[in-house]
Each structure stands twice: as structure tokens, then as C-alpha cells.
Amino acid sequence: MIYGGIEAGGTKWVCAIGDGPDDLGDVVTFPTTSPEETLARAVDFFASNGSIAAVGVGSFGPIDIRPASPTWGHITTTPKPGWADTDVAPALARALGVPVAFDTDVNAAALGEHRWGAAVGLDTFCYITVGTGIGGGGIANGRLMHGLLHPEFGHMRIPHDRDRDPFDGVCPYHGDCFEGLASGEAIRARGGSAADERMWGLEAEYLALGLVNVICTVSPERIVIGGGVMKQPELLRLVRTRLCELLAGYIRAPELDGGFDDYLVAPALGDRAGVLGSLELARTVA
Amino acid sequence: MIYGGIEAGGTKWVCAIGDGPDDLGDVVTFPTTSPEETLARAVDFFASNGSIAAVGVGSFGPIDIRPASPTWGHITTTPKPGWADTDVAPALARALGVPVAFDTDVNAAALGEHRWGAAVGLDTFCYITVGTGIGGGGIANGRLMHGLLHPEFGHMRIPHDRDRDPFDGVCPYHGDCFEGLASGEAIRARGGSAADERMWGLEAEYLALGLVNVICTVSPERIVIGGGVMKQPELLRLVRTRLCELLAGYIRAPELDGGFDDYLVAPALGDRAGVLGSLELARTVA
């Protein structure tokens, strides 16, 4: 069976056809413009690439993933201009005539890492992406994390020392929430140079604080952390060190005996986690 | 089948025999003294009460609940004097000759609320207790929340405005973590009068911040909040109001359409959630 996958990000969409990392056919990437234009490009890509059994979409959010909801498959309260209350999955299903699976971009990436990457065999783990925004999701007790809605790691509240960092934060809803302080957008808005070590020390501090909260709530067996900001050399190492200091030995588990190198890891699938996970998502409804 | 349940708290143990809320036989409560004395009192109670099929223990922690671990069933890094690295469940199983199920006190209470209380039928929900300490747990995707260890909601980091509240916090590991600022122990250590409205405003602020983080990570369909501190009149209402303000409309779900009155609720089983959940825990291994 051949599936279609869409990593529907706020900046770009990545569409692929295939069955997994060793059988990845055509991949196309285009910018996220208007909903009409963006959806049309995705439909054109799949329609011109032969027969697929189903499509999986990992979307930016917040999104409605409640199966019984009249707005299932829609993007809901996003602040992204033009995209609030957008029909995504039902529109694709109508246009392509195949079942469409719909989840968050981070849950899709988590599914990819669980199937082929850094989280194979784990029962409970989290995936976090630190890019323009901060998203999080994962698998709890063997299934994707859903619930009231879906996880929104980026909107946790974390300590903010205004003497050290007087920046107000960029979140239009919450100001200095986790995403408001530690996202790529926050780094840009705060200014400062990428060569400034203090800036990365501050970033590591915020990321470690957010990770402490993920560990204290979800208790993941591993955390996979990706996204553009994490490509900064040394940042992952700084975050591991600070995370260990903040936990202060309270959480004791064999996974942490050798330090955090095997606990807090980069995505094994790299930038392909999202689109590969979307293919896996498609498999669930085919 | 008749089961034994132990709510093994840091202050007192509650032992019961029965099958549920409508068939609760003898219940005995005694203070948590030394491990030897406390365990012996529990063994005596069950041994003198006829035949039980299994015992469930909901324990203060942190605890080892990893089935394959050589220290499964032990209390581990607790700061409670004399109780670090204490064999609880294996010791009870040896003394009583029945299977023993072991989980956190809050997961046991969550199980009780899921079986008979305020969370019947929910797939993902959280239970939080605000007493001497702060604990949290619950059910994710239909099963108790485990993972690396188990949830430790009390040790999240939350914003702490030292101008408003210069108190350093009481957590021996982290100072001003959630439990360090908002537990009953923190309220006592900070001083002030229970008649002081500002004090309860501050408490509501901290509890709401912790709940925001639970919602943004676990995405529970409902949160049940209990414990001694929550008996303060009006506190639950204050927390609901502040929680709604802090989320600022970002999380949109039908459960929240009517406000937070049905979302953030007191335990339907009241103070019996823990010991009833321990009976339900026993059923899983009988």
C-alpha cells in the first residue's frame, strides 16, 4: 500500500508519497500561503501521483481532532492570519476521495520517531519541536496523546526572571509563556547575536524549565527534541546539563543513570520525522 | 471477591477491606511512624480480618513501580525521615501471602474516581491532591499514567513573583517549585492568617499556574482536585476563575464552553478516593 503524508506547517507544507523511510517516493515542499492555494497544491500533488490508499496530515494548530465533532479536521484558534477555523482534513478527503487521518504536526512527528526513529518500542515518550513556535506531543500508554484537545507544550508557564531577561515574550495569548520566551520567534524578537553565549544560556534555561514540567507531568521514558532552534551547535548539550541541575536528583530512574545523553535526544529521522509520521498516520485509516 | 486496600500516606495510613463504596467493610486509620511499625499494623489488620484475594497499595513517593526492577514496590527518594528506600509491597506480599498491587497514592485515588467517582468513562484525566505536599497522576489513554517513573506534578516549575511573594519555598530539592510554593506545608511556613484573602489569592494563582501546565502537557478531559488545602471555602472557585483567565481562551473545547465548573472538580468520593482506589488496584492483580 502506498500512502500520502502532509506535514502541514505554519511556514511550509511538505507532501510525500510512500510507505516509510526506505520507500519514500516523491516529496514536494511549498510555502504556506492562503488555505485555498495551499490545499489546492497538496491536492494537485497527490492527484497527479497515482493511487494512494489514504492521506495522513500532521498539522499546525490548535486543531480539532475529536472524531465526533462537527469541525473535526479543522485548524481552530490559530493566530496565523487567514487560517483560523479552516477545514483541512474533510476538504482533502472530499477532493481526493480517500480516508484522511488528522493530528498535530508534533504528534505526527512523534509517530514517525516511534515507528522508525528514536522512540521505537517505548510506551510513553514525548516529542518537542522548537522552531518558530514550540509544540509538543507524543505517545502515552502506547497511543498518541489526545484528551481534552491535544498537548500544547508551548503554552505552559515557566519561571521568568525579569532581571535577567526583561523581554515580555511574544505569545499573543500569554506573553511570556514557554513559547513566548523560548521559541525561535522569541529569540528573533529579543534581538541579540547568535554568537552571544549568554543568549544560548538563557535559551537553555527556558528549554530545561519546560522539560522539567514535561517530565513531572507526563513522565516520558525519553524526550525527542527537534526543530530549527535545536540546530544551534551545543544547545542540546547545554539543555541536558541545565535539566539535570534543575531536577537535582529528585527523579531517579535507570534511564538517567548515565546522564541525559540517551534521555533527551535529537530526532533520529531528522527533518523527515513529520512527513514520515504523516505516512504512518495515513496507515491507521487506510 | 474481597480485597484489601491501603492508602499509604506520609502522615497516616488508611486500610480497608471490601469491594467498593457500597461494600466497604472495616476501615482503620493510624499514623505513619517507622516503616517497621507502620507495615506491621497494616499486616495485623489484614491478617485478623479473614481472607482477602489481593492487596492494593497507593503510596506516597517517589516509588518504584517498574515491574522488572529489583526494587519494585519500594519507596525511593522520599525526604521523609526513615522512609527512603523502604520495601513496602514485597514485604506486604511476603507477610500476607497474597498478590500486592503498588502505585502512587494519587494514581490510586485517580483509579477510584475513574471507577466510581468524578471521572467515570473518561479516557484521559488527571487527579491532583493539594495537602502537606502536592501530588498528581491520572489516566492517559485509558491506563494509569506511568512512564519513566510516575507523574510528580508537585515538582514542576511555575512563575514566582518575588515582589508579590518573597517566600523561598519549602521543597528540599527545588525550593520554589509548585509544591514548594503552594502545598499546605508552604502555606504554613509562609505564615499569615487563614482569614487573609490575599493569601488565598496567592494560593489560587499558584494552583492555577500548575493546572495550566497540566492542561498544556497531558490535555486531560477533566481534572479532579482534592486534598486538605482544597477544603478552604471558595478556593476551588478562585482557582477556576484564575485558570480561565490564564488560559485566555487559547484552549477551546466543548468541555469548557460552560466555564470550568464541570472541568475542575472536587473528588466525588471525597476523602475515600485513595483507599477505594487501592481496592480497585488490588482487583487488577487478584
A166 in contact with B, Cβ within 8 Å:
no
Task: Provide the pLDDT for residue B37.
Answer: 98
Residues of A in contact with B217 (CB under 8 A): 136, 151, 153, 156, 213-214, 217-218
**Least-confidence region, from B4-13, B162-171, B189-198:** B189-198
- Pairing state between β A55-59 and A100-104: parallel
A263-280 in b/e form (b: 16+ CB < 10 A) is bbbebbbeebbbbbbbbb
For residues B70, B76, B81, B86, the Cα torsion angle rounded to the nearest 10 degrees is -30
Rg of chain A over Cα atoms, rounded to whole angstroms, equals: 19
From the list A26, A217, A284, A248, the residue with the least C-alpha distance to B147 is A217
Q: Is the pLDDT of residue B49 over 90?
A: no
Q: Are residues A224 and A255 in the same domain?
A: yes
Q: Do A217 and B212 touch (CB under 8 A)?
A: no
| Banded model confidence at residue B1, pLDDT cuts 50, 70, 90 | confident
Q: What is the DSSP letter of B133?
A: S
Chain A residues lying within 8 Å of B69, measured CB to CB: 254
When CB atoms are compared, the residue of B146, B159, B254 closest to A158 is B159
Domain membership of residue A72 as a residue range? 3-105+271-283
- How far apart are the C-alpha atoms of A117 and A123, rounded to whole Å? 14
Asked whether residue A231 falls in the same domain as residue A149, the answer is yes
How much is the pLDDT for B121?
Answer: 97
Residue B113 belongs to a domain: no
**φ/ψ bin of A147: left (φ > 0), alpha (ψ from -120 to 50), beta (otherwise):** left
According to the model, what pLDDT value does residue A252 have?
87
Indicate if B87 and B194 belong to the same structural domain: no
- Phi (first) and psi of residue A282, to 5 degrees: -60, -40
* d(CA A192, nearest CA chain B) in Å: 24
Distance from CA of A22 to the nearest CA of B (A): 30
Q: Does B10 touch chain A (CB under 8 A)?
A: no
Shared domain for A122 and A262, answered yes or no, is: yes
For residue A275, give the nearest of A67, A80, A79, A25 by alpha carbon.
A25
Tell me, yes or no, whether A110 lies in a domain: no
Q: How does B147-176 read in b/e, with b if 16+ C-beta sit within 10 Å?
A: bbbbbbbbbbbbbbeeeebebebbbebbeb
C-alpha cell read off for A11:
511556514
Put residue A232 in one of left, alpha, beta given phi > 0 → left and psi -120 to 50 → alpha. beta
One domain, residues A164 and A26:
no
**DSSP 8-state secondary structure symbol assigned to residue A57:** E
* Cβ separation B140–A136 shorter than 8 A: no
Question: What separation in angstroms does the CA of A55 have from each of A22, A101, A155, A284?
Answer: 18, 6, 29, 10
* Closest C-alpha to A263, from A219, A213, A231: A219
Residue A113 within a domain: no
Q: Is residue B52 part of a domain?
A: yes
The x, y and z cell numbers of residue B36, run together, are: 517497621
Answer whether residue B112 is part of any domain: no
On chain A, the residues whose CB falls within 8 A of the CB of B141 are: 140-143, 145-146
- The domain total for chain A is 2
Note the pLDDT tens digit of each residue in B224-259: 999 999 999 999 999 999 999 999 999 988 899 889
The per-residue pLDDT for A77 is: 86
Residues A151 and A15 in one domain: no
Average pLDDT over residues B163-172: 96
The number of beta carbons lying within 10 Å of the beta carbon of residue B242 is 20
Same domain for A125 and A233, yes or no, is yes
Together in a domain, A200 and A277: no
Q: Is B141 within 8 Å of chain A by CB?
A: yes
| A156 to chain B, closest Cα gap in Å | 5
Question: Residue A111 falls within a domain, yes or no?
Answer: no
What are the chain A neighbours of B127 within 8 Å (beta carbons)?
A: none
| Assembly ipTM | 0.96
- Name the stretches of chain A with pLDDT < 50: none
| Claim to verify: residue A99 and residue A129 sit in the same structural domain | no
Q: Are B93 and B144 contained in the same domain?
A: no
Whether B73 has a pLDDT exceeding 90, the answer reads yes
In a domain, A138, yes or no: yes
State yes or no: pLDDT of B192 exceeds 80. no
Q: Which of B62, B209, B217 sits opposite A217 (nearest CB)?
A: B217
pLDDT at B109: 98
Distance (Å) from the alpha carbon of B140 to chain A's nearest alpha carbon: 6
Q: What is the CATH number of the domain that holds A12?
A: 3.30.420.40
CB contact under 8 A, B147 and A221: yes
pLDDT at res. B77: 86
